[in-house]
Amino acid sequence: MLTQLSIKNFALIDSLQVEFDKGLTIITGETGAGKSILLGGLALILGKRADLSSLKDKSRKCVIEAEFSIKKYKLKNFFAAKDLDYDHDTIVRREILPSGKSRAFVNDVPVRLDVLNALGDQLIDIHSQHQTLQLTDNQFQFQVIDILANVSEEVNSFREVLKNYQFTQKELRNIREEQAALEKEHDYNMFLLKELEEAKLEGLILADLEAQYERLNNAEDIKTNLSTSEQILSDEQVGVLNLLSELQVASGKLSEIAPEFQQLAERIKSSYIELDDIYNEIINLQGEVSFDPALFEEISGKLQKIFDLQKKHNVLTVEELLSIQTELSEKASVSENIDAVIQGKEKELQELSKELQQIAKIIHKKRSQGIPTLVQQLENMLAMLGMPNARFEIKVHIGNQFHANGMDDLQFLFSANKGGSFNELKKAASGGELSRVMLCIKAILSKYMQLPTIMFDEIDTGVSGEVANKMAKIMQQMSKSMQVFSITHLPQIAAKGKQHFKVYKQDVNEVTTTQLKQLHAEERVQEIAQMLSGAKISDSALANAKELLQS
């Protein structure tokens, strides 16, 4: 529950610090006194976005701090899930800097606004007149039914499976789009793949093929040059080998005359042997060189095919062509196998759909069982609040669509008068009737939910007299199990509070500020009497105020 609230430099509040107790707390004040400012400060603590206009003095930062006693409310798991430091007395602080930036802290640890918002949902339920309009919203109506039907576990399971179902649907859409694109490209891709496969590029070394082409293309020149080389070496009169043979004989004679010529003779002999080996190699090569027109045409065609493919695919190497061939082969494989993939995804969707329908049936059954309890409690409580003929007709039936919370479609109909026809709440109930319905719903939900604090902002709009008294008693009953705040203009409700605070404006040094003070016994009598009779308090109003406080 909320135990302390401190507000500094916010709107018309210069500095305010107040402590709250359990039970029913009443907040009153004239219109425009600043009750909305108090709610605005609390809203910032609960994660609402802030702006620079919130600052009273724009040269100083605004600080709003609230302390909550949460020992009894089993929030340790929530704190752990949000990576927050848990403390039985948790302090939430919000700062708005003169620059316009804001910061949030939980137990002095900085937190993001989404985390603060989630924590706020666990700490306080601020019920405003705007929230009363939510009563006509189908989603809110489902939330009410689901709390009484105790289907939170099933709804969470449904949402998890639905998430998988929607993800699989998206996958299937993408695969089908891919299939359509592949079908458009398939024939052309297969043509390109066939071209590459026919070129037989695997294991091919382009440099070797080009060298073979050059040998065939220049076969006659090669033979001519080899023949010339043979003649130079073997001519009987001027051949290099014959001349070198004569040189070898001469050097041999020199080595016999003088030993110093021995090395020279050996070198000349070695040269003769090497050149003779070259001569024999040339003779062998001449036998191997021949022009094969068919082979030349084959190699020439293969090279031209490779060069054409390189140009076509805008690459420079055979390796790049092979990479493209692999890619096209994979696309062809995907295209051929994609029907099987689609069938697998469709089967997966069918299984998930069956699982969703099974969970939805359980949710529907539990909702159907819980609705009569909700209707009975609502009608009984509304009878206490001056609506004895109020009737509800709440029905759920399973539709064909998957919603976020199941497959049910909801009819939440209301009739305020005896014999009246049932209609939607927003059409069948007045503003005052909606307020009473909402109070009843909150009272019923408080039995099933463990919410530390609820704050009603003028939920008594449109009611008066004995109905207001009954509403106050409902709030009193609720305050036995939770902390309840009521911002009210009705004396019947104000008199039922365990503690009573007054919001008022005060001019100090020609500056208007909003103040909040706790009223003691005599001050409460004066405040309630003023609420009964206006600015001029009569003796009868004082007597009536005392009677209300004692009842």
Neighbours of 90 (CB within 10 A): 21
Q: Is residue 360 part of a domain?
A: no
Question: Tokens 């500056």 — which residue?
Answer: 511
Instruction: Classify residue 101 as exposed, middle or buried by CB count within 10 Å of its CB (0-12, 13-18, 19+).
Output: exposed
Q: Is residue 149 part of a domain?
A: no
- CB-based contacts of 282: which residues, under 8 Å, 6+ apart? 226, 229, 230, 233
Widest pairwise Cα distance in the chain: 163
Question: Tokens 């029913």 — which residue?
Answer: 24
Q: Is residue 75 part of a domain?
A: yes
Beta bridge partners of 486: 26, 456
Q: For 127, left (φ over 0), alpha (ψ -120 to 50), or beta?
A: beta
- CB-based contacts of 442: which residues, under 8 Å, 6+ apart? 125, 127, 454, 456, 478
- Look up the domain containing 501 and give its range: 1-127+450-519
What tokens appear for 163 in the block?
């998430």
| Terminal C-alpha separation, the chain | 27
Q: Which residues of the chain have pLDDT under 50?
A: none
Q: Are residues 206 and 103 in the same domain?
A: no
d(CA 154, CA 143): 13
Q: Are residues 104 and 183 in the same domain?
A: no
Question: What local confidence, expressed as pLDDT, does residue 327 receive?
Answer: 82
Question: What local confidence, expressed as pLDDT, does residue 333 receive?
Answer: 67
Q: Are residues 184 and 329 in the same domain?
A: yes
Q: Are residues 190 and 122 in the same domain?
A: no
Q: Are residues 322 and 212 in the same domain?
A: yes
Q: Is residue 167 part of a domain?
A: no
Contact 409, 397 (CB under 8 A): yes
Q: Are residues 237 and 314 in the same domain?
A: yes
Q: Are residues 301 and 188 in the same domain?
A: yes
Q: Are residues 191 and 55 in the same domain?
A: no
Contact 36, 509 (CB under 8 A): no
Last residue of a domain, one of 285, 312, 337: 337
Question: Tokens 């040339």 — which residue?
Answer: 282
pTM of the predicted model as reported, rounded to 2 decimal places: 0.67
Q: Are residues 55 and 187 in the same domain?
A: no
Q: Are residues 197 and 293 in the same domain?
A: yes
d(CA 369, CA 432): 30
What tokens appear for 375 in the block?
């209707």
What pLDDT, in 10s, does the model give residues 361-393? Answer: 999 999 999 999 999 999 999 998 888 999 999
Q: Is residue 40 part of a domain?
A: yes
Q: Is residue 242 part of a domain?
A: yes
Q: Are residues 332 and 192 in the same domain?
A: yes
Helices (H) and strands (E) in the chain, counts: 18, 15
Total structural domains within the chain = 2
Amino acid at the residue 409: D
Strands 89-96 and 13-19: unpaired
Last residue of a domain, one of 282, 307, 337: 337
Question: What local confidence, expressed as pLDDT, does residue 302 receive?
Answer: 80
Q: Are residues 94 and 203 in the same domain?
A: no
What tokens appear for 382 in the block?
């509304």
Question: What CATH number has the domain bearing residue 462?
Answer: 3.40.50.300
d(CA 505, CA 326): 81
d(CA 10, CA 493): 29
Instruction: Classify residue 486 as exposed, middle or buried by CB count within 10 Å of its CB (0-12, 13-18, 19+).
Output: buried
Last residue of a domain, one of 296, 318, 337: 337
What tokens appear for 28 in the block?
């009153």
Q: Is residue 271 part of a domain?
A: yes
- CB-based contacts of 431: which residues, under 8 Å, 6+ apart? 132, 461, 462
Q: Is residue 350 part of a domain?
A: no
